[in-house]
Homo-oligomer: A and B are copies of this chain.
Amino acid sequence: MPTRLAVIGGNPAGMSAASVAKRRDPQLEVVAFERGPYTSYAACGIPYLIGGQIAEVDDLVARSPERHRANGIDVRIRTEVVAVDLAARTLTTGDGTTEPFDQLLVATGAHATPPPIPGAEATEPARTLDAAEKLRGEVSRHGTHAVVIGAGYIGLEMAENLRQRGMRVTMVDRAPQVMGTLDADMAEHVQTAAEGAGIKVLLNVDIEEIVRHEDGRPRLVRTSEGDLPADHVVIGTGAKPDVALAEAAGLTLGETGALAVDDHLRTPGHDGVFAAGDCVESHHRILDRPVNIQLGTHANQQGRVAGINLAGGDARFPGVLGTAISRICRYEVARTGLTEREAADAGIDAVAATIQARTRAEYYPGAGPVWVKLVAERGGGRLLGGQIVGTETAGKRIDTIATALWAGMTAGELQFVDLAYAPPVSPVRDPVLVAARAVAGR
């Protein structure tokens, strides 16, 4: 009898694992359970679906249930797993069916955490394609005012795209800055760009209530600074790993509250039980401790590693840096490793330097500003992190910094790396190298 692998979660982590495992071991019986109607979709594309740059929900589906089935994976959509019995090696779905498995992959993802205010519970966060489709329909049908609660990268992307749909957009956050994943000095450039695109940004403001019409639609958002008209409310205040099912089944949570896994994505103490994606914690290579950072890149890589191991292979997931990028209004915004504040919070004696440069040769048409901030251990020690804000093409330069961090380089080493230059793509002194030189001297 072939081994049976059950995958909980039809997201990139779960379906990458399912696909890789099935491809490497065609004898493996693979069944995947997804609570919604879609599989393998790009949640990162949702803001652009709202904004209209992406026309169809299906465009965001990298691989449909039908395509997975054609590859021999038994996909059950609209099927929620409600209980797992690790001893009996069975799981139970919402309709009471019991399914056996030999191996299990938990890829339950994360769920949004709206602030605990009256009315918030009725505002579905646009994390899923279904919710995104609903919001898109509502935006196209009525209303002129939108309020975005939470000024992180998802909030900003949503705000920008609602603005492109002609909404008057106000973004509210209780924090003193936008983009909490950046240091305040870098986040200021992003705020300027958002305001330049017509988004009203209110910081240090508490939300008190989302007031609704009788039919449930939002009417206004009550804040510590007064009422904001709100035909639409989008909440982007972060997400927590979805671990209730796994915890109830007896899997171990780590110190972050996410599922603990080893570097092979195995759950400790449960042979043949793996977990991957937003619901697990990962080793942070700079902090040298587990973190829960929810990014599609990690989910994909982890899914692949888990898939290899589920098919009898031996792959290792070597950890994360938390490298992330967004395009927000006229800027690309990117980060990797630790910010200056995160380094301080971790008790590291760090120095930082920020430089401003241009994306192309000064004289070449289309050159725009780019700010690069690097953080390093004081006294010429290893690099700790980097942040970039700048016009088109600025952001992916973060990969150079991420690769240097990955290799454990110092700023003194990075400043001499032989990077590429031509007038249409870079100044002769690459902004990353200029920043490395600046921080190497501190």
**B419 touching A297, Cβ below 8 Å:** yes
> Chain B residues with Cβ under 8 A from A413's Cβ?
318, 406
**A422 touching B361, Cβ below 8 Å:** no
Q: Which of A113-121, A244-252, A325-333 contacts B (4 or more CB under 8 A)?
A: A325-333
A385 to chain B, nearest CB (A): 12
A399 near B: Cβ within 8 Å? yes
A426 near B: Cβ within 8 Å? yes
Q: Known contacts A296-B428, A396-B393, A425-B332; decide if A363 and B418 are in contact (CB<8 Å).
A: no
| A residues 15-51 touching B (CB-CB < 8 Å) | 42, 44-45, 48
| A residues 30-75 touching B (CB-CB < 8 Å) | 42, 44-45, 48, 53-54, 59-60, 62
Task: Name A417's contact: one of B324, B406, B428 (CB within 8 Å).
Answer: B406
A52 to chain B, nearest CB (A): 11
Q: Known contacts A404-B403, A418-B406; decide if A424 and B54 are in contact (CB<8 Å).
A: no
A158 near B: Cβ within 8 Å? no
Q: Please, how many angstroms separate the alpha-carbon atoms of A322 and B420 in the complex?
A: 9
Taking A297-B418, A399-B420, A399-B432 as known contacts, 14 extra A-B pairs with beta carbons closer than 8 A to each other, sorted by chain A number, are A42-B428, A44-B422, A45-B364, A62-B362, A320-B418, A323-B420, A325-B426, A327-B422, A395-B422, A398-B420, A403-B407, A403-B417, A406-B413, A407-B407
> Chain B residues with Cβ under 8 A from A298's Cβ?
418
Q: 6 closest pairs, A vs B, by CB? A: A407-B407, A325-B420, A59-B363, A403-B403, A321-B418, A399-B400
| A residues 387-434 touching B (CB-CB < 8 Å) | 392-393, 395-400, 402-404, 406-409, 413-414, 416-426, 428-430, 432
The winner among A285, A296, A397, A420 for most chain B CB atoms within 10 A is A420
> Chain B residues with Cβ under 8 A from A408's Cβ?
407
Q: Please, how many angstroms separate the alpha-carbon atoms of A319 and B418 in the complex?
A: 8
A295 near B: Cβ within 8 Å? yes
A365 near B: Cβ within 8 Å? yes
> Chain B residues with Cβ under 8 A from A364's Cβ?
45, 48, 53-54
Whose C-beta in chain B lies nearest to the C-beta of A406?
Answer: B417
Q: Please, how many angstroms separate the alpha-carbon atoms of A26 and B419 in the complex?
A: 31
Binding site for B on A (CB under 8 A): 12, 42, 44-45, 48, 53-54, 59-60, 62, 285, 295-298, 300-301, 317-327, 332, 334, 336, 361-365, 392-393, 395-400, 402-404, 406-409, 413-414, 416-426, 428-430, 432
> Chain B residues with Cβ under 8 A from A285's Cβ?
418
Q: Please, how many angstroms separate the alpha-carbon atoms of A364 and B395 in the complex?
A: 17
> Chain B residues with Cβ under 8 A from A363's Cβ?
42, 45, 54, 59-60
The winner among A60, A323, A419, A430 for most chain B CB atoms within 10 A is A419
The winner among A62, A425, A426 for most chain B CB atoms within 10 A is A425
A373 to chain B, nearest CB (A): 15
| 28 A/B residue pairs, CB under 8 Å, sorted by A | A42-B423, A44-B361, A45-B423, A48-B364, A48-B423, A53-B364, A285-B418, A297-B430, A300-B428, A323-B420, A324-B421, A325-B422, A325-B425, A327-B425, A332-B425, A336-B418, A395-B422, A395-B425, A396-B420, A399-B420, A400-B403, A402-B417, A403-B403, A403-B404, A403-B409, A403-B417, A406-B417, A407-B408
Whose C-beta in chain B lies nearest to the C-beta of A284?
Answer: B418
Q: Please, how many angstroms separate the alpha-carbon atoms of A54 and B366 in the complex?
A: 11
Q: Known contacts A48-B364, A396-B426; decide if A323 and B403 are in contact (CB<8 Å).
A: no
Q: Please, how many angstroms separate the alpha-carbon atoms of A408 and B406 in the complex?
A: 12
